[in-house]
A and B are shown apart, each in its own frame.
Chain A
Amino acid sequence: MKYYDKLIFELSKEGRCGYSLPVNKFPAAPEVPQQLRRQAPLRLPEVSEPDVVRHYTNLSQMNFGVDTGFYPLGSCTMKYNPKINEEVAALQGFAGLHPLMHAGLTKGANKVYQEMNKALAAITGMYTFTFDPCAGAHGELTGLMIMRTYHMMRGDMARTKVIVPDSAHGTNPASAAVCGLEVVEVKSLENGRIDVEALKPLLGPDIAGIMMTNPNTLGLFETEIKTIAKLVHDCGGLLYYDGANMNPLMGVVRPGDMGFDIMHLNLHKTFSTPHGGGGPGSGPVGVAKHLEDCIPDLRVSGFHGNFGVILRAYAYILALGKDHLRQVGQYAVLSANYIKECLKDVYKLPIEGVCKHEFVFDGLINDGAHDDVPGATTLDVAKRLLDYGFHAPTIYFPLLFHQALMIEPTETESKETIDTFIEVMRKIAAEAARDPNILHDAPHNAPITRPDETMAARNPILKYEW
């Protein structure tokens, strides 16, 4: 990766163009009336086609993706994105469909939704799915709307609170607030699981439900899930499953069987569709049979959700079939546990025991917190990893630990890649003990060194001035 400094505006020269359009054979329409016409000049780049191709190719070379290298970003399930999925999504018979065409014109597309619904129901143990949500957080919001609709349809208007564990993804409480629910936090125990005794007094006639992810964000299975489900159901609440952590359960455990009533899936995590640098995603929401009637009136996106993403995920499911589903979950868990065991003598492992698809270290054992022992912080470790050709794990999340370093390898990384990563993580630990400045100044080999983020926030420059 090398530094490239241009912005497209800086390549612009009056009179250049990057398009070709057919000759206009229509008679001229009346002009747009003066008072409705754009007054300001239209300043867009004027660049040739080769300029554009070279510019964005250069930009791409300052980026790191799953196809570049190992991307152990916890909670994000950065698995390999199969290329056949891209081929399928580009087919003109799908890409050319107008969203308002009636069902008689879109039989192939309808079948994609029907078959995806069946497949996701089989994989998760839910009854049926809606495909409208365009991302995970969008799915959470939709799921909570379903939760509230369920209570409202029963005339139970008092259930205005939702319980969220302190280890939850930030989107959980944010989605609850957008949905008009009050968030009640439940604490975790020393062993990283929900404190059932702390949960009990929170339950009552004002509780709409609980949002959980299992395994939780520490990568630990919530072993008391049966008790929790019973307690929440007995108080009249529903259980919501945040599907961000579904990958380790593929082919082994189904959220529906654990008592969850509503869940979302991230097709851009568990089902192999590319993240695209922050979307497009797809966050279908599944419900148990008794909630089927709560879905129909909810219109949360323009048309039918992100169809192009759903197509890719369907191609992935067809490649997995029932034969390989279990391998996905098992190998993801195998790789995570292997890394944990190989590094826990140099990184702090706050909670022992088998993990699922990911786990959290609380930074280096030599964390630099004591003046007499050299060391480095989690941020330093993350930045140094970039020098060695790896993406960094998720850092400073979950909030339960001060130096959280959350590692999720996924099932698509080879033992060789993982072993190299382990070797590098140990090397970084050794560097931290010997010469922590190498880490403080990292990255050294990336297109840029560490940027001044304070300046960016204090004096925001959010567009190019020309």
Chain B
Amino acid sequence: MATLPYLPHTQADIRAMLDRIGAKQLDDLYSDVPSEFLKKGAYALPDALSEQEIRDFFAALEAQNARLKVFVGQGAYDHYTPSVIPYLTQRSEFLTAYTPYQCEISQGTLRYIFEYQTLMCELTGLDVSNASMYDGPTAAAEAMKMAVSCARKKNRVLLSKALLPHVIKVVETYAKFHGVEIGYVPAPDGQTSLEALQAELAQDDVAGVIVPSINRYGIIEDHSGFADAIHAEKGLLVEYCDPSALAVVNTPGEWGADIAVGDGQPLGLPLCYGGPYVGFMTVKKEHMRKMPGRIVGQTVDKQGRRAFVLTLQAREQHIKREKATSNICSNESLMALWVTIYLSLMGPEGLKEVNKISADGAHYLKAELLKTGQFQDVFPDKPFLKEFVLKPKKFPGQLQKKLEEAGFFAALDTEEGYVSFCVTEKRSKEECDQLVKVVKEG
């Protein structure tokens, strides 16, 4: 058997260590395990591969995946990633560190989290950010729990039916087990209905309401009057947002929201089949002590120099155990670094330009697709940025297949029988024209 390069123990090392312990052989170190639990016989695993074999293996596996131009969003957006980001996030001082428990030798991690918190507050227009959550849907689920915890006696949380489907499903799962009742606010004309919301609020049991800043149809929602209506009933307004789009659309703070959540993926994270992404949460200052997750704060060291530490830990599981605000421990720190570097590189102008090119591209594609006569516009008067839905005039299965064959992932089916498209700054006008050509020929 070849030596595994990750294991430095020589036979002489093992012998010397066993002698020091007073054991004859390695098996003696398991003398406290009842013998019936010691695995007998070989494990059903393949033989060990060398590094070159591993490389070849994954090259073959990778080739089995389709490589398509992505014209779909629905919670995962194919934005451009500057090459600086993977380069810097691969630095092993960041990559191979644990949670920054020993702050004196973790100032790198603590500083970038502090920068990340600042950036997320800036984008969302709220006061306090945590260090990150798993992804957007789980961040929404945490916001649901937080709303109930802040409201004390009220135990119902309303979800807009225009939230992305996967967000609704995850919140429902958490709610079922946490004992929270879920209600729904319809969005009959492509926008969460204020009237329907008010009717639900009148039942006097609503702890919070989660609405999308930009919804599953790609529509930029108008939340005028939402915060007032919800606050009048002592509930919390939670805005689910695409943080990239917050460069150009109303912030949760401007809508009067108490909590903003969402997925940081559109900020330059690779699609990577759904993860790792990074959930974010920002809140108004008065809710700071109810917020889940790690938080980094600024202080000084003994010499009076600026220093950063994990703070407000009395909220957390390792102190409060079953009384903690959440069970979250590991989060998505490295992806928060990714987002931080992305926003630093793009700056205000870059982020606005990303939105501009994406929106221009999406409006162009939508107009060209409508010209083919094969789709109906569903929400003709509603404003959108990079994502939109159309109603196909015939069953879209064959079209989708044709698009795949031509190298496009586009026209994703929705629950409502629409097809969804998305254009980011990575898609060129030529690619849009080619896609439309395939549709025409279809």
Q: Which of B87-95, B181-189, B228-236 is found at the contact surface with chain A?
A: B87-95
| Contacts beyond the supplied A279-B276, A334-B26, A413-B8: 8 A-B pairs with Cβ under 8 Å | A29-B359, A82-B6, A100-B412, A170-B320, A299-B166, A325-B45, A330-B29, A457-B314
With CB as the reference atom, state the residue of chain A lying closest to B29. A333
Task: Render A303-328 as a binary contact track against B, CB cut-off 8 A, 1 for contact.
Answer: 11111110100010111111111011
From the candidates A59, A109, A318, name the one contacting B112 in the complex (CB within 8 A).
Answer: A59
| A–B Cβ pairs within 8 angstroms, 29 of them | A8-B115, A19-B346, A27-B363, A42-B247, A47-B345, A63-B105, A92-B67, A101-B68, A108-B61, A109-B273, A170-B319, A268-B330, A278-B98, A300-B174, A302-B277, A305-B275, A307-B276, A320-B4, A321-B47, A325-B45, A337-B21, A353-B32, A394-B101, A443-B104, A447-B105, A447-B107, A452-B299, A461-B297, A464-B118
* Residues of chain A with a CB closer than 8 A to B345's CB: 18-19, 47, 49, 52
- Contact call B297/A460, Cβ cutoff below 8 A: yes
Measured CB to CB, the closest approach of chain A to B65, in angstroms, equals 4
Contact of B17 among A64, A338, A443 (CB under 8 A): A338
Q: Is the CB of B429 within 8 A of A457?
A: no
Query: In the complex, A173→B55 CA distance in Å?
Result: 41
CA distance A18 to B85 in the complex (A): 11
In the complex the two chains form, what is the Cα distance from A325 to B1 in whole Å?
12
B114 near A21 (CB under 8 angstroms)?
A: no
Are A19's CB and B82's CB within 8 A?
yes
Q: Write the chain A residue with the least CB distance to B180.
A: A180
Residues of A within 8 A of B99 (CB): 275, 277-278
The 5 A-B residue pairs with the shortest CB-CB distance, nearest first, are: A303-B274, A321-B48, A276-B334, A93-B62, A99-B274
Closest partner residue, chain A, to B168 (CB atom): A299
Q: Are B274 and A60 in contact (CB under 8 A)?
A: no
Across the interface, A327 reaches (CB within 8 A) one of B7, B125, B128, namely: B7
Closest to A113 in B: B273
Which chain A positions have C-beta within 8 A of B103? Answer: 448, 451
Q: Would A63 and B93 count as touching, CB distance under 8 A?
A: yes
Option from B86, B178, B307, B349 in Cβ contact (under 8 Å) with A180: B178
Q: In the assembled complex, which residues on chain A have CB atoms less than 8 Å from the CB atom of B270?
A: 95-96
Q: Is A154 located at the chain interface by the 8 A CB criterion?
A: no
Chain B positions within 8 Å of A301 at CB level: 134-135, 137-138, 170, 275
On whether the beta carbons of A18 and B84 are closer than 8 Å, the reply is yes
B95 — nearest CB in chain A belongs to which residue?
A274
Q: What is the bound-complex CA distance between A60 and B341, given in angstroms?
A: 13
Binds A, one of B193-201, B350-358, B434-442: B350-358
Contact mask for chain B residues 298-342; partner A; CB cutoff 8 A; 1 contact, 0 none: 111111011111011110111111111011111111110100110
Measured between beta carbons, the chain B residues less than 8 angstroms from A82 are: 6
Q: How far is the CA of A5 from the CA of B273 in the complex (A)?
A: 37
Q: Given A45-B343, A307-B272 in contact, is the A61-B108 Cβ separation under 8 Å?
A: yes
| Residues of A with C-beta under 8 A to B314 | 457
Q: What's the Cα separation between A16 and B358 when bound, in Å?
A: 23
Give the A-B contact count at a CB cut-off of 8 A. 668
> Which listed residue, B65, B86, B296, touches A90 by the CB 8 Å rule?
B86
A35 B331 Cβ-Cβ under 8 A: no
Q: Given B114, B115, B275, which contacts A303 in the complex, CB threshold below 8 Å? A: B275
B88–chain A nearest beta-carbon distance, Å: 5
Does B117 touch A at the CB level, under 8 Å? yes
User: Do B364 and A78 touch across chains, with their CB atoms under 8 A apart?
Assistant: no
Closest beta carbon of chain A to B252's beta carbon, Å: 11
* Alpha-carbon distance between A193 and B104 when the two chains are bound, in angstroms: 35
With A and B bound together, what is the CA distance between A335 and B326 in angstroms? 35
Interface contact B251-A451, CB-CB below 8 Å: no
Q: How large is the interface on A (under 10, 10 to 19, 20 to 34, 35 or more residues)?
A: 35 or more
Binds B, one of A65-73, A286-294, A368-376, A430-438: A65-73
How far, in whole Å, are A228 and B148 apart by their CA atoms in the complex?
37
Complex Cα distance, B357 from A22, in Å, reads: 9
Instruction: Give the Cβ gap from B418 to chain A, nearest Cβ, in Å.
Output: 14
Known contacts A3-B305, A171-B327: does B104 contact A447 (CB below 8 Å)?
yes
* Contact A68:B92 (CB < 8 A) given known A42-B122, A447-B105, A456-B298: yes
Contact of B372 with A by CB under 8 A: no
A324 CA to B313 CA, complexed, in Å:
40
Cα A307 to Cα B359 with chains together (Å): 29
Cβ of A320: which chain B residues have Cβ within 8 Å of it? 4, 45, 48
Question: Scoring A residues 165 to 199 as 1 if CB is less than 8 Å from chain B, else 0, what string do you get?
Answer: 00000110111111110010000000000000000
Q: Mark B191-220, 1 if CB is under 8 A from A, else 0.
A: 000000000000000000000000000001
Q: Mark B237-251, 1 if CB is under 8 A from A, else 0.
A: 000000000111111
